[in-house]
Structure 1
């Protein structure tokens, strides 16, 4: 690696760091909001009433079937006839929240279904209502089972946040393209941006793997 490249990386790093912070902010907000909405959809999708269950399942399938880039464009430019548009940052958060909600709904629902039936029987024997059994028994255990998969999906959403460069959001990839357009050295700056992505995703993947192994031992 040449000294010139190292100097250039040192010059570009502050802008890329600012972009990384924007990427993390977008990812964090989208995950928090999406997980909450996803939990709601998971409960609705598991409801006994078809009038509640099937509309929720339909919305989840639409969200899962819609590519994240298309969702970003629809939210940013506004749905036809709705007339509501957003700036780049809130548009990205809204779009990734909807995508997160759709996918995490299925992850959480699978976790809830994995809770042994004996747990519900024990809750019923203790005189807990269905709501209390879901609140204190099924949901906590289901989320614990789903946690490794949810964390893995969080890493994916962080990577997907790079698509926000198409909206002009100055996140990590957007900053890299901006620097590349000014210097015509796209490869050099994209390598540095890739290293910053790896600095987040590799430790996060390691944590997910370690958590999954610990939970597997506990469940075993």
Structure 2
């Protein structure tokens, strides 16, 4: 193949990459706050709060992400809730992401010395203010590197949305390959695009993790 042909194939795949990035942004918008909420719920001493949070986390971890996608897209219509493929994929992957990252948030929150919380209470600060202005700023420094790692994993997991006919990167590569019969070339290019996004983010996550480790041991 000539360079022009490779360039054309590459440009043909870019819209699919754009959809994959939109999916990633959507699942993060759902999964990050939900993961934090679950982490707070699991850490709660109130059984009414803790048990439902634990149940959501265990289901989210125990059920494959693809099954969650099917449950949201094909299962919810039987309850009267019908979603398009794109938001269904965002919700399914977002719940799965939240289940796994809840432990990251919980570990980050628990890493903040308890004495700081007690000092805040002694100063008359409310629990919400202590959590938002004392605990979370310190916890974020710890959770950001592993969260970046999970974001990379779930960017790659957006390929599962192929099963719902979402025109993401893998889906577009496959559809184009069925028309030009260049399966090897199209799927190889798709793999390169996945890697082109994932590898720099992985390097960034590792760099952030090492920098955080050095700052805590300094």
TM-score by length of 1: 0.92
What is aligned with 2:216? 219
User: After superposition, what is the alpha-carbon deviation per residue over 1:135-188, rounded to whole angstroms, capped at 9, x for unaligned?
Assistant: 211122122211111110000010000111111111100011011111222111
- Match runs of 1:124-143 below 5 Å: 124-143=121-140
1:81 offset after TM fit, Å?
Answer: 4.0
What is aligned with 2:62? 65
1:131 offset after TM fit, Å?
Answer: 2.6
1:158 to 139, 155, 158: 155
Range that drifts further, 163-172 or 139-148: 139-148
1:85 offset after TM fit, Å?
Answer: 2.5
Matched, 1:92 2:96: no
1:200 offset after TM fit, Å?
Answer: 0.4
User: After superposition, what is the alpha-carbon deviation per residue over 1:39-67, rounded to whole angstroms, capped at 9, x for unaligned?
Assistant: 11111111111111111111111111111
What is aligned with 1:27? 24
Gaps of 5+ in 1: none
What is aligned with 2:79? 82
Q: Secondary structure of 1:30's match?
A: helix
Matched, 1:56 2:83: no
Q: Secondary structure of 1:97's match?
A: helix
Question: Using the alignment, how far apart are the partners of 1:183 and 1:125 within structure 2?
Answer: 70
Matched, 1:168 2:146: no
CA, structure 1 residues 218+126, in 2 after alignment: closer, same or farther (shift >3 Å)?
A: farther
CA, structure 1 residues 42+183, in 2 after alignment: closer, same or farther (shift >3 Å)?
A: same
Would you say how many aligned residue pairs link Structure 1 and Structure 2?
217
1:80 offset after TM fit, Å?
Answer: 7.5
What is aligned with 1:14? 11
Range that drifts further, 54-63 or 130-139: 130-139
What is aligned with 2:188? 191
Question: Using the alignment, how far apart are the partners of 1:9 and 1:193 within structure 2?
Answer: 12
TM-score by length of 2: 0.93
Gaps of 5+ in 2: none
Question: Using the alignment, how far apart are the partners of 2:2 and 2:98 within structure 1?
Answer: 41
Say if 1:75 and 1:91, in contact at 8 Å, map to a contact too: yes
CA, structure 1 residues 5+198, in 2 after alignment: closer, same or farther (shift >3 Å)?
A: farther
1:78 offset after TM fit, Å?
Answer: 2.2
